[in-house]
Amino acid sequence: MTANKNQAIEKNIPTWLTVLLAAACGVIVANLYYAQPLVGVISSSIGLSPSSSGLIVTLTQIGYVVGLLFIVPLGDIVENRRLVVASLVLTGVALAVTAVSKQAVLFLAASLVIGIGSVAAQVLVPFASYLASDSSRGRVVGNVMSGLLLGIMLSRPLSSVVADFLGWHAVFALSAAAIISLAIVLSKVLPERKPTNATRYTALLASMWGLLRTTPILRRRAAYHAFVFATFSLFWTTVPLLLSGPMFHFSQIKIALFALVGVAGAIAAPIAGRLADRGWTKPATGIALVTVVCSMLLPLIFRTGSMTGIIILVVAAILLDAGVSANLVLGQRALFSLSPEIRSRLNGLFMAIFFFGGAIGSAIGGWTYATGGWSAVLWIGMAFPLAAILYFATEKK
């Protein structure tokens, strides 16, 4: 009877739960990106030099990588609802500390912890895959990832608007309240999921190297996305500096409106999920990688401070977000087709590898813009997906 009940739950994930998981992932992951359009304002406020301003975003991403490697794997052995709620409480406390920070050391330390706790989103994504049937897994994961990607894309304009009216401290204060509220809601309505895996934590961590070594699809999909996510982080870390600079003179509100256009790229996530369900993962991956290359090539060819230049940047932002969104869903759909007992570890490794790529993109973004200008940023941003395409060309059927 219990087995039949579990099967029914797996085959019929309620629409309201899919929506809740999507919204939760978006609210959680937004914390990684609130600071991106505020790098200049925050760095001057807490006393960071322009060359070190990239640390504001980079440390959060490094914290996320740490959480992906050491917390997300717990989803294979620890009751998932409890793990998610505990991670959210940690994130809420760190956000509260960030909201009152006036010194660089405290702010950066709290940013690191925010990244670690925000991996709760990556416990929820495999959770959704457990509840979905094989035939609908790509669609369900795509829908949940749409919420996550909307959180990424809406976080930038939202933080810009709030900072413009209430100051940057309010961005983190409001997020702290939202995360604690979310923890309370999920603790009440999220179904339990107790993994049957009895592996010890130390053995679980030790097994991750073996999974990376023996799972070619994990290495390949992680490499593809590490390259494109490096471009994503590079672009969105530096484009606010370009827009607020002498070429465009954008205010925080205008930067927010610009960042808002990237939301259109999120539509690629559910489309990619459906293509994967039909067995079209390989051609869809090629299209996604080429789209990211084009997103960097366009503003490199058409560079002007006029309205045409702004339109080109808008198109580039949409193409970039669409290509990255599609490639992410295609990668996770492929991994979640593997054994359910190892999905949390696979997802943790996948996300950790590509977020490391994103951290590299953020770290070199500020430095590249300061030393080589916008053109250098675009050339480096184009080199990453081109490397992914070269690797993709070696993929067998």
pLDDT in tens, 315-369: 999 999 899 989 998 998 888 788 777 888 888 899 889 888 988 898 888 789 8
How high is the pLDDT of residue 359?
80
Closest CA to 335 of 168, 145, 187: 145
Phi, psi of 54 (to 5 degrees): -60, -20
How high is the pLDDT of residue 113?
96
Cα 206 to Cα 70, 126, 345, distances in angstroms: 11, 20, 11
Domain 11-392 sits in CATH at 1.20.1250.20
How high is the pLDDT of residue 12?
63
How high is the pLDDT of residue 297?
96
Cα 1 to Cα 4, 6, 7, 72, distances in angstroms: 5, 9, 10, 31
How high is the pLDDT of residue 8?
38
In this predicted model, what pLDDT tens digit does every residue of 151-179 receive, in sequence order?
887 888 899 889 888 999 999 999 999 99
Distance between start and end Cα atoms, the chain: 41
Return the domain boundaries, the chain: 11-392
Between 224 and 309, the higher pLDDT residue: 224
Radius of gyration of the chain (CA): 20
Distance CA 84, CA 30 (A): 16
Burial 355-371 (b: 16+ CB within 10 A, else e): bbbbbbbbbbbbbbbee
| Average model confidence (pLDDT) across the chain | 87
Quick check: 390 and 289 in contact, CB under 8 A?
Answer: no
**Residue type at 309?**
G
Structural tokens at position 54: 């990239």
pLDDT of 225 above 70: yes
Quick check: 151 and 321 in contact, CB under 8 A?
Answer: no
